[in-house]
Amino acid sequence: MTTITLENIGKRFGTTDIFQDLSLAMNSGEFVVFVGPSGCGKSTLLRLIAGLEDVTSGKISIDGRDVTHTAPHDRGLSMVFQSYALYPHMTVRQNIAFALHTEKLPKAEIDARVNEAARALQIEPYLDRKPKALSGGQRQRVAIGRAIVRKPKAFLFDEPLSNLDAALRTETRIEIAELHKSLDATMLYVTHDQVEAMTLADRIVVLSGGRIMQVGTPHELYTAPANTFVAQFIGSPKMNLLPVETTARGVELSAGKPALPVPVRPAVQLGVRPEALRLVAPEEGLLTGKVALAEYLGADLSVYVDTEHAGRVTLRGPGTMKVRDGETVGLTFDISEAHLFDANGDAIRGEMKAAA
């Protein structure tokens, strides 16, 4: 069982600071996903943990041992690369066994481990093929097999599904989740896809511009985003942010519609998820607007409404809902489902005590 701790990590490439003073602890057996837009530093963070890049400052420990300046192979981690990085001149069996031969394990042990991994990943039929003769999904399994057989302290995945097509991605995602359950190993996983993050993670680390925006379970991130960035990054379609004014009466939508209780700090934005919005008659709505477009997705219907005061707002309802383009509609939502954000974009929480 493995814990990984980052303390005050700093990383600089030339004159560009990627991280400054980043700290994070990953618990034993946990599936931690680093997620964020491209350029947020999530892959660099993984490579720092793997030892492929050196930190500029700070300390990395694995199971309490300081590995900040330890070579990658001495950290006891396995990594699955985005491009799979299989050795093209070796067969699948040789690829999987190579690291074990490097460790000079006994032959019988190597064979046993390779066969076990091959069975678990269902790659037995093509153990004697070269990577060139495999499909993307098969290569992915081989790369995972190569990581498993070393029985590492933890697994590092660097966007492992981004080169697969949509159907295969979902399938492999489920397999990785099952793998985590069966191995009970610590896994760190980098992705830019919030769906992968939500479905796989025990805990998600949302990164932006080299800073941790929020760490939490998928449920926490969805129900209690710490700031507007996380609020809009997690969830699809993304959360609506409506401009509000905080007056003596409370928080009001600019239209002067019913106020929310007075928060401790003045709120300037109100967030409401598309699935929390309901369609009502124009005069009953907290907001009114015209339907610009409705996207039918089978089970769901996404409705884009151009409102007078808050611009375009997205609503997600059941696929059975009926709306006409150009129709004037009212939108309403439960106050308990609203998120308030201050001028810095940080969430204001626990302050809406007085009843409306």
Partner 1 sequence: MSLSQRSENAILTAPLVLFLLALLGFPTVLDVIYSLSDVSFETLRAPTFTGLDNFRAVLADPDFWQATWFSLKFAVLTSVAECVLGLALAIYFSPILRRAPWMLAILIMPMIIAPAMMGLMYRLVLHEFIGPLPNYLYNWFGVSYGFLTAQNVFKTIFVIETLQWTPFALLLFHMAYESIPEDIREAASVDGTRGWRLLTRIELPLMLPTLGVALFIRFIDGFRVFDNIWTLTGTGPGGSTTSLSIYIYVAFFRSGEIGQAIAASMILFAAAFLVLFVAARRGRGKETA
Residue 5 carries which side chain, given as an amino acid letter? Answer: T
Selected binder of partner 1 within 83, 135, 223, 254 (CB under 8 A): 83
Nearer residue to partner 1 within complex by CB, 78 or 194:
78
The structure tokens listed for 234 are 């997690």
Selected binder of partner 1 within 72, 136, 237, 261 (CB under 8 A): 72
**Antiparallel, parallel or unpaired: β 203-208 and 31-35:** parallel
Rounded to the nearest whole angstrom, what is the least distance from the CB of residue 160 to partner 1 in the complex?
12
Selected binder of partner 1 within 2, 43, 44, 78 (CB under 8 A): 78
Nearer residue to partner 1 within complex by CB, 30 or 158:
158
By CB under 8 A, the count of residues binding partner 1 is 24
Rounded to whole angstroms, how far apart are CA atoms 114 and 117?
5
Rounded to whole angstroms, how far apart are CA atoms 339 and 111?
56
Rounded to the nearest whole angstrom, what is the least distance from the CB of residue 242 to partner 1 in the complex?
45
Bridge partner list, 156: 79, 188
Residue 343, phi then psi, degrees to nearest 5:
-65, -25
* Cβ(286)–Cβ(332) below 8 Å: yes
Please, which of residues 45-64 interact with partner 1 by CB under 8 A?
50-52
Nearer residue to partner 1 within complex by CB, 89 or 119:
89
The structure tokens listed for 95 are 């690829």
Cα maximum dimension of the chain:
78
Selected binder of partner 1 within 56, 70, 85, 327 (CB under 8 A): 85
Residue 326 carries which side chain, given as an amino acid letter? Answer: G
Does 150 help bind partner 1 (rule: CB under 8 A)?
Answer: yes
Mark the segment that binds partner 1 (CB under 8 A) among 27-35, 95-103, 159-167, 326-334: 95-103
Does 224 help bind partner 1 (rule: CB under 8 A)?
Answer: no
Nearer residue to partner 1 within complex by CB, 105 or 255:
105
Nearer residue to partner 1 within complex by CB, 102 or 254:
102
DSSP, res 265: S
Burial class of residue 77 (count of CB atoms within 10 Å of its CB; 0-12, 13-18, 19+): buried
Bridge partner list, 290: 306, 328
Does 105 help bind partner 1 (rule: CB under 8 A)?
Answer: no
Does 73 help bind partner 1 (rule: CB under 8 A)?
Answer: yes
Q: Among 17, 28, 16, 22, which Cα is nearest to 46's?
A: 22
Nearer residue to partner 1 within complex by CB, 100 or 301:
100
Does 296 help bind partner 1 (rule: CB under 8 A)?
Answer: no
Residue 229 carries which side chain, given as an amino acid letter? Answer: F
Question: What residue ranges bind partner 1 (CB under 8 A)?
Answer: 50-52, 71-74, 77-79, 81-83, 85-89, 98-99, 102-103, 146, 150
